[in-house]
Each structure stands twice: as C-alpha cells, then as structure tokens.
C-alpha cells in the first residue's frame, strides 16, 4: 500500500463537511469555475428550440409573451341568439320582445335592427351584434320566422371579447419556468409552434467495482443496481443519462472512464468513493482535476466525493445502494437543476406522527426511511404540532434505522424523514414531514 493510501485509510473521515456547505462549494465551483459541459456553452448548458408538443417538463430559455389575442375574435359565451342589446330593452316573460330571425348563423348572419342570429358557444358574433340571449330565454316561432325574447340583455352580455383570455403582448412565462401540459396548451393558443428551452444536461453514469455483474451473481458477486437507479433518476430530473458498463477498481481504467465522459455535462460514478484500499476514485479525480469535498455530514452516505475536472462536475457516489440514492438526491439532482438554469423544487411532503424513535448523531443530517400507514389514533394538539395540528395524521413507521446497503428499505418506503444536523434523533409521537423524494412520471 502506498504511503498516501495508508494515510487516507487510517485517517477515515475525521472532518465531514455539512450538507449545505458541500452543496454551496459544489455550486460555486460550477458557476465560478466555468463548467461548460459537452456542448461547450457556459453554465448553464446551452439552449435549443423544440416543438411545443415536445416541451413538457422542459425549462424555458427566454421570457415569453403572447403573440396574439386569445380569442382573436368576439365569440358567443352561450348557445343562443346574437342580438343588438337595445332591441331587448324591456323584454320579460310577460312582455317578450319580438325579433325577426336573420338568415344564416354566426358571423355570416347580418343582424340588422330588430333581428337576431343563431349562435353556438364559441361562434364568432355578427359584426352588428353586441350581446347574446341564452337559448333558454327565447321562444322560436318557426312558422313566422320570428323569436320571442323573454330577457333583456346588456351590451357585452354573454359575449367573450377579443383578448378575454390573453391579450397580445401579455407576459406569459419568465425564463426558467418549467413547462407543464397546461402551459403547452396556452402557448399553442398564444401563437407558438416552437419554443426556446434549456438543453437537457447530459450525464455519464459510471458504476464501478470489480464485484459487480449484470447477470446472475456468483459467490462474492453483486448485481449492479446503482447505475441503473441513478440513470433513471437523472432522466426523471430532466437530464439525459448515458448508463455505462461497469468499470473495475483500477486507477487507469477509472481514469479512462472519467476522461471519456468529460464530453458530458456531468460525470457520476457509483462505488469506490470511501477510504478503503479499493476506493480509488477520490485520488483519480484529484489527479485529473480537483476534489472539492470528500466526506459529508450525511447519514447514510457520508463517503461521497465531489470534484471538478476540466470544468465538468464529477460526483463519486457511495456504493451502498441507500447511501448512493441519498447522495444522488442531495447533490446530483441540484447539479442537474443548476446546469439547466433553475434550482431544485422542494420535495412534496406528508405530515405524519412518528411511530417510534429515529436515532441520529448530532453533526450529521440523517435520512430515515419510513412508510405511511392509516391515520393516527388521536388528534394532535401537543407542542410539536402546527396550526393544523388537530387534523388526523398518518403514522410514519421507520422501515430501518440503519443499513445503507439495504435497497428494499428505500424501494418499499413511502419517503424519508430528515433529521437536521443539530438534533439528536426524533422521539416517537412527534409530528414530522415525510419527504416524497422520488419523482412520479
């Protein structure tokens, strides 16, 4: 063992960087160090123009305003008859006004004084009409070609004016807005067939470890799962993952794998990030570039390594599955967001009563996996409750207090409870927020 290797192995992680500070260091290095990614654009990554129907979940690269009025014509808001409002003055059930039914319907009809034209919801109004009488308030006298109007209407009544929905030039969305399906409909209505969006950050995902296999494992072998999980998370977070084959625990092989994926915007490795004899990635990253943080006050998963190589962020995640996932959520997810020019949204949460104590160490932020069951038996009114504390809550049952290698403890959980760095556990009976960290499609 080399002297540096022995020193690293014996030292362990005596100093662990707090999670928030580690994120700040990483973000500062990306923004100030000129991270460019594979497309050569300054951070955030470059932009592209895509069809509106393909823009769901994408981030707008510019401010957008409506290019036309919506609607762009006066339209009927009800089924009925388009009229001149003045012709209905004084109309009532007992004393209806008699109007002649004009030839044609909608905008094709001529509404002269004393006439009315049939219209349907959304129909363009005849130019001379300024109101619509609902179909329920008229009686058609077909034989005479006339209409009894039983309701007086005011000018503009039951009429959607030009620009009622959106006016031409009206601001719609700011740069950085993540588009939703309803946004796509509005953009299409406002005259957009294509929109400029941030490119999806590209991520090379490199699983490492000589014990990893893709098929049935033999003695001492483990099926590779971290790379698969992380690559699919990247896709859900808005990036584009390239899931690489397993790389063995060899410095030269690891060096080549990282250099190959410097064409990506982010490089992520799984495994080999700690301080053991086969944990070679921190030294490889430091040799190629700079290690920013090695060892974070986070449980499970403190042996994470964050670095920069030729302007590209390189994240070495721990090999234990739960630790890998926790670190991916805490560091990879924000990095994807920063590179596309946004910040991570808070995870949705569910308030619940903790079924039993969650232990933790002060100085480490603990992510305790829990499942949710039913409702609490009693209404909460204690000091831990919020203003809504008297509502019935779910029960949060820890699935496992420890074991960063037990993947099922995450996969079968509903979320996790975050124990802040300064707390020494959370007692049973306290109301907690369960974070649903895994995005849904």
pLDDT tens per residue across all 441 residues of the chain = 344 444 444 445 678 999 999 999 999 999 886 544 443 333 368 999 999 999 999 999 999 999 999 999 999 999 999 999 999 999 999 999 999 999 888 788 899 999 999 999 999 999 999 999 999 999 999 778 999 999 999 999 999 999 999 999 999 999 999 999 999 999 999 999 999 999 999 999 999 999 888 888 888 888 899 999 999 999 999 999 999 999 999 999 999 999 999 999 999 999 999 888 888 999 999 999 999 999 999 999 899 999 999 999 999 999 999 999 999 999 999 999 999 989 999 999 999 999 999 999 888 999 999 999 986 554 444 444 444 445 558 999 998 645 555 566 677 789 999 999 989 899 999 999 999 988 764
Give Cα separations from 169 to 36, 61, 194 (angstroms).
34, 18, 17
Confidence (pLDDT) at 7: 47
Tokens of 346: 């808070």
Comparing CA positions, the residue from 374, 61, 321 lying closest to residue 207 is 321
The residue written with tokens 């005596």 in the block is 14
So what's the pLDDT on residue 170? 96
Q: What integer pLDDT is reported at residue 65 of this predicted model? A: 96
Q: Which two tokens stand for residue 295?
A: 């060892």
Q: How many Cβ atoms are within 10 Å of 100's Cβ, its own excluded?
A: 15
Token pair of 391 as six digits: 């509502």
Structure tokens of 352? 């619940």
Q: Which two tokens stand for residue 347?
A: 């995870």
Helix (H) / strand (E) element for 281: namely helix 281-288
Cβ distance 129 to 117 under 8 Å?
yes
* CA dihedral angle for residue 422, residue 427, residue 431, residue 433, rounded to 10 degrees: 50
With CA atoms as reference, report the closest residue to 233 among 213, 260, 203, 273: 203
What pLDDT is stored for residue 215 in this prediction?
Answer: 80
**238 backbone φψ class: left, alpha, beta (φ>0; ψ -120 to 50):** left
Are the beta carbons of 208 and 224 closer than 8 angstroms?
A: no
Rounded to whole angstroms, the Cα distance separating 410 from 399 reads 8
**Per-residue model confidence (pLDDT) at position 12:** 58
The pTM score is: 0.81
Cβ atoms of residues 116 and 99 within 8 Å: yes
């Amino acid at each position: 063992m080399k002297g540096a290797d022995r020193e690293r192995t014996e030292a362990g992680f005596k100093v662990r960087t707090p999670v928030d500070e580690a994120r700040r260091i990483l973000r500062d290095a990306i923004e100030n160090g000129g991270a460019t990614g594979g497309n050569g654009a300054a951070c955030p990554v470059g932009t592209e123009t895509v069809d509106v129907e393909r823009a769901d979940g994408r981030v707008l690269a510019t401010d957008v305003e409506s290019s036309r009025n919506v609607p762009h014509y006066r339209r009927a808001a009800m089924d009925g008859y388009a009229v001149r409002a003045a012709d209905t003055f004084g109309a009532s059930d007992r004393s209806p006004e008699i109007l002649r039914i004009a030839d044609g319907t909608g905008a094709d009809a001529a509404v002269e004084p004393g006439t009315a034209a049939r219209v349907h919801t959304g129909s363009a109004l005849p130019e001379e009409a300024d109101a619509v009488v609902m179909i329920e308030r008229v009686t058609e006298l077909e034989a005479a070609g006339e209409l009894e109007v039983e309701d007086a209407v005011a000018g503009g009544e039951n009429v959607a004016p030009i620009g009622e929905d959106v006016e031409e030039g009206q601001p719609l969305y700011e740069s950085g807005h993540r588009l939703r399906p309803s946004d796509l409909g509005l953009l299409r209505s406002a005259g957009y067939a294509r929109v400029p969006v941030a490119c999806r950050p590209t991520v090379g995902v490199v699983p490492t470890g000589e014990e990893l296999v893709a098929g049935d494992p033999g003695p001492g072998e483990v099926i590779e799962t971290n790379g698969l999980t992380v690559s699919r998370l990247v896709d859900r977070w808005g990036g584009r993952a390239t899931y690489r084959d397993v790389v063995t625990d060899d410095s030269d092989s690891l060096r080549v794998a990282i250099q190959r994926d410097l064409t990506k915007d982010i490089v992520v490795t799984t495994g080999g990030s700690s301080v053991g004899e086969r944990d070679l990635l921190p030294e490889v990253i430091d040799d190629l570039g700079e290690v920013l943080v090695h060892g974070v006050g986070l449980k499970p998963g403190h042996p994470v390594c964050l670095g920069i190589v030729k302007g590209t962020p390189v994240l070495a995640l721990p090999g234990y599955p739960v630790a890998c996932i926790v670190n991916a959520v805490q560091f990879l997810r924000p990095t994807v967001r920063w590179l596309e020019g946004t910040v991570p949204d808070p995870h949705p949460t569910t308030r619940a009563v903790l079924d039993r104590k969650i232990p933790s160490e002060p100085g480490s932020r603990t992510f305790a996996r829990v499942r949710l069951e039913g409702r609490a038996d009693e209404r909460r009114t204690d000091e831990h409750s919020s203003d809504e504390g008297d509502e019935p809550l779910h029960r949060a049952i820890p699935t496992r207090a420890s074991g960063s290698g037990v993947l099922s403890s995450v996969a079968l959980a509903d979320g996790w409870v975050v124990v802040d760095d300064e707390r020494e556990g959370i007692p049973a009976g306290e109301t907690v927020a369960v974070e649903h960290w895994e995005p849904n499609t």
